[in-house]
Chains A and B, each alone.
Chain A
Amino acid sequence: MKIRIDHIAKIEGHASFTADIVKGDVQSAQIKIEEGARLFEGIMRGRKDIEVPELGSRICGVCPVVHNFAGFKSIEDAYKVPVDNVSLRKLMMMGQMINSHSLHLFFFSLSDFFGYKSDLELINQYPEKTHDAMKIRDVGNKLVERIGGRTIHPLTPCIGGIRKAHDLKGLLEDCKKVLPLAIKLGELFVGLEYPDFVRKTNYVSLVNDSEYAVYDGKIKVGDKVMEPKEFYSKIKEFQEQDKVAKRTHFSEKSYMVGALARLNNSKDKLNSEAKKLLEKSNCNYSNPFYNILAQAIELVHFFEEAIKILENLGEIKINLPKIENTTGEGLGAIEAPRGTLFYNISLKDNVVEDINIITPTAQNIANLEDDLEEFEKLGGFKDLSDKEREDKIKMLIRAYDPCVTCAVH
């Protein structure tokens, strides 16, 4: 039997899915990407260094902040410049994570648990929760806007820091006020029933001894910890004929990035409320459906982290470093909401000679396809109707929070 799911709704960008089921065994599972190629890595060449983060943020309107920062980090690594006001960048990242996670959790994923085909049903059934979700997103947006100059495609980041500090008054109070709503939303997700599907894979994310890593750190893959450069050099990026999105392997195998990977690798570094929430849950760290729960836990963590940063911020002074060298090679690695994002750049006299970008979804597609290849292991699979199987497949695809726009860039 052939399965074909066209135009999967409620993901960023456009994708379909095809597979065969032969005697109850899922085979040839493929995510088909239906975006046009924009050739970002091609159009950036020959242009000036500062255009990389600006153009890069246009890869994705859902996570523009991390593309922007990964671009700047790659340039700063190439030029060997120190970075001023890192805490402001981290604070902006919290806003980015909050707005992206809350969008995915509430508006993309939650309907799957109730069988709604449209968010309008969800909104009508849960008006209060919908307003809570909007309030949570609003604060995330505000964090990005107040530091970055606007919510989508940030303006203030520059090589070596942040160009201009806008007034951040009121943000701390906003975060404190909304944290309980994030915890409430987290409890809702702790209480949901997740499909039973376990497949072991390697979980990859940044790790950092001093915090739950999102802005910088080393890479953890399975039990190994290494420099991002070492990991990057060992990623095998490949592209098959007719496929507009590349895939990646590490040690010949697929691996997973994103919230569940971060939780696997850094859960001991979570802030207290997020930790409490995790302890209340039955999180299965090898079940990709729990990526949804992992995002809900992270949402609480990121609010707590934003509060921490704001409480310790003090007066903001801009003291940008002097840039003397404008030639070199650099790597920017950062945790995007959907997983680790890499910008690898080569610059000569301020001008881009070469650039390669590896996005979280490009890394996750191979792992997702491998999950779907073994989807017959889903609890109760053989008793499901075709329609129910299709719904569960869509649910797993959405659980990864794929960003097709990022995957093709």
Chain B
Amino acid sequence: MSKPVISILSLTCCEGCQVSIFDLGERFLEFLTKVDIGDFRLIEGLPDVDKYDIAIVEGTAITDEQIKRLKTVREKSKYLVAIGACACIGGVQEIKNYRDKDKLIGLVYPNIRGIDNPDIKSVKEMVKVDIEIPGCPINKEEFFRIINEFLDGKTPVIEQKPVCEECVRKNNKCLLLLGKPCLGSVILAGCNAPCPASDFPCDGCRGPHKDINLEAIKKALKIKARLNDNDIELLLERFGKRNEL
């Protein structure tokens, strides 16, 4: 039986999600023996192939060439998996959408001609996505589970529940109750709550889970964490999740 063909496409991002896959270490090496590589620029420079079974996409398409490549990859793939905050919800670069992006580019570059500066879009706003594995970076364990389920012919899902559920199981102190601006109660679980375990309040890199009560969390942030409206906006902009809420 032929092996499934896997492709990894990296658009504009920090590439930390690809590095996370690499960080699987021995399991990554074993994974490579179970698949054929279609296109994976980080480890090979061979010619591309015609069809992929699974395309894994990280980052956001900013340049025209990236947009074209994303569309081509979609056409060639049976399944497309978006990984990481950038691909799933826009990532930190989407913060510019909530600002005057034409002014921002002038602050960074003396010569702005020829530099693409479109509004940032997540992958699902450009092409059909079969499953999203969110996070900044992705949780490599969750990625490994999902990709193996694909290889086994199953349909993987991420359970809709808040980060709080995983956080309490680790016996972490509730940071919101301690007055820290933690979004764990409205953010999709699956990360296994590494941030609160390091006393770092969840700031929502995985985006919201379904059916959240936005007003309730805003109120809690005001009362418990003493944030003002502007602080809350800044927090909700992070990782580009504001338009997902």
Contacts and interface: CB of A to CB of B under 8 A. Distances in A.
B32 A120 contact: yes
Contacts of B23: 137, 141, 151-152
B16 A37 contact: no
A319 B91 CA distance: 34
B216 interface: no
B113 A242 contact: yes
A112 to B, nearest CB: 10
Interface stretch (B35-43, B72-80, B125-133): B35-43
Nearest to A150: B194
A156 interface: yes
B200 A155 contact: yes
A137 B25 contact: yes
Contacts of A107: 22, 42-43
Given A9-B45, A137-B25, A36 B105 contact: no
Best-buried of B62, B91, B103 by chain A (most CB within 10 Å): B62
A240 interface: yes
Contacts of B136: 58, 153
Contacts of B123: none
Nearest to A116: B44
Given A9-B44, A43-B99, A138-B25, A60 B14 contact: yes
A269 interface: no
A134 to B, nearest CB: 5
A378 interface: no
A20 interface: no
B157 interface: no
A240 B115 CA distance: 11
Interface in B144-160: none
Contacts of B199: 156, 163-164
B95 A43 contact: yes
Interface string A141-163: 10000001111110110000001
B101 A39 contact: yes
Nearest to B47: A117
Given A123-B29, A241-B111, A241-B114, A149 B198 contact: yes
Contacts of A39: 93, 96, 101, 104-105, 107-108, 117
Interface residues on B, range: 35 or more
Contacts of B105: 37, 39, 42
A407 B33 CA distance: 33
A117 B25 contact: no
Contact of B234 (A47, A60, A240, A246): A47
A182 to B, nearest CB: 16
Nearest to B37: A120
A10 to B, nearest CB: 6
A172 interface: no
Given A9-B45, A164-B198, A55 B92 contact: yes
B96 to A, nearest CB: 5
A153 B99 contact: no
Contact of B114 (A45, A51, A117, A242): A242
Contact of B19 (A40, A57, A61): A61
A177 B110 CA distance: 51
B96 A42 contact: yes
Interface string A287-320: 0000000000000000000000000000000000
A180 interface: no
B75 to A, nearest CB: 19
A118 B39 CA distance: 11
A42 B107 contact: yes
Interface string A39-59: 111110101100100110111
A405 B116 contact: no
B165 interface: no
A376 interface: no
A9 B41 contact: yes
A195 interface: no
25 contacts: A9-B43, A9-B45, A10-B45, A12-B15, A14-B10, A34-B65, A36-B66, A39-B105, A42-B99, A42-B108, A43-B93, A60-B15, A61-B14, A103-B22, A118-B37, A118-B43, A118-B46, A149-B194, A149-B197, A151-B23, A152-B137, A153-B136, A155-B198, A164-B199, A405-B15
What are the nearest 6 A-B pairs in CB distance? Answer: A61-B16, A36-B62, A42-B104, A9-B45, A242-B114, A149-B198
